[in-house]
Amino acid sequence: MAEFVLKYSDAQGQVHQQVENAVSEVELRDRYAQKGFLVYSIKPRGGAAGGIQHRFTRAKKLNLGQFLVFNQQFMTLIRAGLPIMKSLELLAGTNPKLADYIRRAHDDIKAGALLSDAFRAQEVFPSIYTTSIMAGEKSGSLVEVIDRYVTYQKLALAVRKKIIVSLIYPSILVLLVIGLIIFLITYVVPNFAELYASMQAELPPLTQALIFIGMATKNYLLVGVAAAALAGFLFSMWIKGERAQRQMDRLKLHLPIFGAIWIKYQVAQFARVLSTLLVGGIPLLQALDTAGDSLGSRLLRSAIASAGKMVREGRPLSTGLEQTKVVPQLAIEMIEVGESTGALPAMLNSVAEFFEEDVNTRMQAALSLIEPLIMLVMGAFVAFVLVSLYLPIFSLAEKIH
């Protein structure tokens, strides 16, 4: 008999985790499945031999585009009648970036593991995916579950691509402005300083201030770069902490214009994931846990966990989300309508669509204002440099006449 860490949900949707003795993972899973429990995961206690070993860490990020292609091919093969084992063998040869994960999942299934456990053991596939696969195995609708996940992933990638594309031009513009400022400060200004020094010209205060900044920047440029690199390193170490990430999330939330865009994008992602899981047959509490884990925001993740505790106490999801003071009121009202009409998954999908469209509209409007603002700042700085540098020349010209 071996010891296993068992995670499962009961008929009320509450998630439990405990240690159980069993001959094998398969025997333990069958035992709890016969009792009507939904088994979430089974892991050997202390990493004992004989179970599925976790061979990978999340250090290697999953390519979502390749993963989408894999799922489309996987769904097509299963729908055509091919066994799962044969489908994985074929896909391992056509997806080089995912080949190692697919082969190891294939080996785990061959050893008696379920498809969802084999994928989860790779520790690289999204939790929403492995949870959906588990629901598909339980309900006998694996193809439909993968189809829903593919649809979800296509929509999520499309929204993300829109946002990235809209940010490309402003980012390039900012880099060009920074490059121009560095060029003027470190090259043009010092050359003018040498010219005026050779002429022994009397410089106005504005020119003296600019030359001081330019010479200091030129002389201490490497020191400044090293200091910036050190500050960046220290910040990257600090931001890894959970408290630091929550503080950064609160800062993002209170940013003018972009704070509203950021929280609406996070809520749209949460609603899309939760809707996909509920449609796939996952109980609400377990779906909330998985949807919360899929979010990149620690602040919203904590808010979802707090709402989940209230749901366990028998209160509506909308009430739990409202108590967090993070989720926009419109989303809460739409979720409340979905709960009262028994159409929560469909309403969550509507929330995601509405906020994704709102994010896209607000982002375009904000960027349309930022671009001329960047040009204005660049023009003002260039004008300041030119006026400061040419003031002494105008003074000398007046003295000559």
User: Does residue 239 lie within any of the structural domains?
Assistant: yes
Q: What is the pLDDT of residues 260-307, one digit of tens each?
A: 888 898 898 888 888 888 887 788 888 888 888 778 788 888 888 888
User: Does residue 85 lie within any of the structural domains?
Assistant: no
Asked if pLDDT for residue 186 goes beyond 50, the answer is: yes
User: Does residue 327 lie within any of the structural domains?
Assistant: yes
Whether the CA torsion 170, 175, 180, 182 is positive or negative: it is: positive
Alpha carbon of residue 93 to chain centroid: 29
Write the CATH number for 352.
1.20.81.30
Q: What is the pLDDT of residues 385-397, one digit of tens each?
A: 888 887 777 766 6
What is d(CA 188, CA 76) in angstroms, rounded to the nearest whole number?
A: 63
What is d(CA 317, CA 327) in angstroms, rounded to the nearest whole number?
A: 12
Confidence band, pLDDT 50/70/90 cuts, at residue 229: very high
Domain end call among 51, 68, 85: 51
Model pLDDT, residue 308: 87
User: Does residue 296 lie within any of the structural domains?
Assistant: yes
What is d(CA 144, CA 175) in angstroms, rounded to the nearest whole number?
A: 46
Model pLDDT, residue 58: 42
User: Does residue 287 lie within any of the structural domains?
Assistant: yes
Distance, first Cα to last Cα, the chain: 104
* More confidently predicted of 276 and 25: 276
Contact 156, 349 (CB under 8 A): no
User: Does residue 69 lie within any of the structural domains?
Assistant: no
* CA 52 to each of CA 27, 86, 109, 294, 395: distance values in angstroms, whole numbers, following the listed order: 14, 20, 10, 23, 82
Q: What is the pLDDT of residues 113-123, one digit of tens each?
A: 888 888 888 88
Q: Are residues 226 and 355 in the same domain?
A: yes
Count CB neighbours of 345 within 10 A.
18
Structural domain of 206: 172-401
Contact 58, 123 (CB under 8 A): yes
Q: For the chain, how many structural domains are there in total?
A: 2
Contact 291, 276 (CB under 8 A): no
If phi > 0 it is left, if psi is from -120 to 50 it is alpha, else beta; for residue 42 that is beta
User: Does residue 23 lie within any of the structural domains?
Assistant: yes
Helix (H) or strand (E) holding 168: helix 142-183
Model pLDDT, residue 57: 42
Q: Are residues 43 and 180 in the same domain?
A: no
Q: What number of helices (H) and strands (E) belong to the chain?
A: 17, 3
Q: What is the pLDDT of residues 307-346, one digit of tens each?
A: 888 888 888 999 989 988 888 999 999 999 999 988 998 9
Q: Label residue 382 exposed, middle or buried (CB < 10 Å: 0-12, 13-18, 19+).
A: middle
Instruction: Give which of 262, 276, 274 is closest to 326, Cα–Cα.
Output: 262
Q: Are residues 47 and 176 in the same domain?
A: no
DSSP states of 34-68: HTT-EEEEEEEGGG-TTS------TTS---HHHHH
User: Does residue 323 lie within any of the structural domains?
Assistant: yes
Q: Are residues 32 and 178 in the same domain?
A: no
Q: Label residue 242 exposed, middle or buried (CB < 10 Å: 0-12, 13-18, 19+).
A: exposed
Helix axes 317-324, 298-312, angle to 10 degrees: 140
